[in-house]
């Protein structure tokens, strides 16, 4: 099968691209910059030049493929509304292009805002809590238009020791800058996590067997406490740990303060049953202890 992948040069996308190619599939990746194009080519994939706002490029590339895996997203928290709008336009473009073909359209999403006070499950829906989740709900509605939609909900930490640029890397850098590895309040808020290679394998399995409109949870660990994360980072970075008063979270953590004190737990029971997916990679705390977050990643 030939898949068009947005975000193919990114943290998750590059692992997905390798996984698909290793399974014998053909991949064409979207690349906005020369650097991204070189990264995608080095993986062994083809390249289409353009960005997420180049809708004609997206339309043509989707039309040439047997399926689309939309992992690209503009992570601009200063103008998140625009990021959501760009994402929605891309999904609409892919949907219109693939309408009536029965081809798979898989998109990246998350678990934030899905459930209060309990782990999120694959059956949970948006209910207007988060705009990115609303884009995922829109995708699922496209099943009635002859598309095989798959929503890929990734844990907030998709980790490994190979250069993670995500939330845990940011928390580690804040600890270096502040001279203390902090957690908010009593540190009992929890984040779900998954190893990057396990997540990539799930994406491949989900697009190979899409079936009816489906939601897949890339979640290996239901929840790791913020305090445990901070303590593990403190050991590796040779820093003390400290509780940060919730009132001071924004000043200490910056934009990360909006997330680190929240509970983002999730299960993947239905995902494992449906796809036979069994995560085998190291846990988040094992990757931290192995030195995966010891040094900053160059911008």
Sheet hosting strand 2-6, strand order edge to edge:
46-49, 26-31, 2-6, 67-70, 104-110, 148-154, 214-218
- Distances from the Cα of 247 to the Cαs of 128, 140, 243, 252, 258, in angstroms? 27, 38, 12, 10, 11
Instruction: Please give the model's pTM, rounded to 2 decimal places.
Output: 0.95
pLDDT of residue 50: 98
Per residue in 213-249, pLDDT (tens digit) is 799 999 999 999 999 999 999 999 999 999 999 999 9
CA atoms within 13 Å, Cβ hemisphere of 190: 17
Higher-confidence residue of 79 and 93: namely 93
Q: What is the mean pLDDT of residues 154-182?
A: 94
Report whether CATH 3.40.50.720 matches the domain 2-156+194-220. yes
Q: What is the mean pLDDT of residues 25-30?
A: 99
Mean of pLDDT over the chain: 95
pLDDT at 279 over 60: yes
Task: Retrieve residue 71's tokens.
Answer: 């992992």
pLDDT at 114 over 90: no
pLDDT of residue 37: 98
Output 271-280 pairs: Cβ under 8 A, ≥24 positions apart.
271/122, 271/202, 271/216, 271/217, 271/218, 271/219, 274/211, 274/214, 274/216, 275/202, 275/205, 275/206, 275/209, 275/216, 276/205, 277/198, 277/201, 277/202, 277/205, 279/194, 279/195, 279/198, 279/220, 280/198
Give the pLDDT band of residue 210 (cuts 50, 70, 90): confident
CB 233 within 8 A of CB 120: no
Q: What is the mean pLDDT of residues 162-184?
A: 94
Per residue in 47-77, pLDDT (tens digit) is 999 999 999 999 999 999 999 999 999 988 7
Per residue in 132-144, pLDDT (tens digit) is 888 999 999 999 9
Q: Which of 25-29, 122-126, 265-269 has the lowest mean pLDDT?
A: 122-126
pLDDT of residue 77: 75
Q: Where are the alpha helices (DSSP H) in the chain?
A: 11-22, 34-43, 55-63, 80-98, 131-141, 167-178, 196-208, 226-237, 249-253, 257-260, 269-275, 284-289
pLDDT of residue 129: 66
pLDDT at 299 over 60: no
């Amino acid at each position: 099968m030939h898949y068009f992948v947005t975000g193919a040069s990114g943290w998750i996308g590059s692992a997905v691209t390798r996984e698909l190619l290793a399974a014998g599939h053909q991949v064409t990746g979207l690349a906005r910059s020369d650097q991204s194009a070189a990264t995608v080519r080095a993986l062994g994939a083809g390249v289409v030049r353009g960005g997420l706002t180049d809708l004609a490029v997206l339309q043509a590339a989707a039309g040439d493929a047997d399926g689309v895996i939309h992992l690209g997203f503009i992570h601009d928290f200063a103008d998140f509304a625009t990021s959501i709008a760009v994402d929605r336009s891309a999904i609409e473009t892919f949907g219109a292009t693939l309408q009536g073909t029965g081809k798979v359209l898989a998109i990246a999403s998350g678990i934030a805002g899905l459930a209060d006070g309990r782990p999120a499950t694959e059956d949970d829906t948006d209910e207007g809590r988060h705009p990115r989740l609303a884009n995922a709900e829109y995708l699922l509605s496209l099943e009635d238009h002859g598309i095989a939609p798959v929503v890929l909900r990734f844990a907030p930490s998709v980790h490994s020791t190979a250069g993670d640029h995500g939330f845990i890397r940011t928390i580690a850098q804040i600890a270096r800058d502040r001279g203390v590895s902090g957690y908010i309040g009593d540190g009992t808020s929890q984040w779900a996590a998954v190893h990057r290679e396990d997540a990539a394998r799930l994406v491949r399995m989900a697009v190979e067997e899409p079936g009816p409109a489906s939601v897949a949870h890339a979640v290996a660990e239901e929840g790791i406490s913020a305090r445990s994360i901070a303590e593990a980072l403190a050991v590796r970075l040779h820093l003390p740990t400290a509780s940060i008063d919730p009132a001071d979270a924004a000043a200490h953590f910056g934009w990360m303060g909006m997330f680190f004190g929240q509970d983002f737990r999730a299960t993947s029971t239905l995902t494992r049953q449906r796809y036979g997916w069994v995560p085998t990679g190291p846990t988040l705390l094992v990757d931290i202890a192995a030195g995966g977050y010891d040094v900053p990643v160059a911008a």
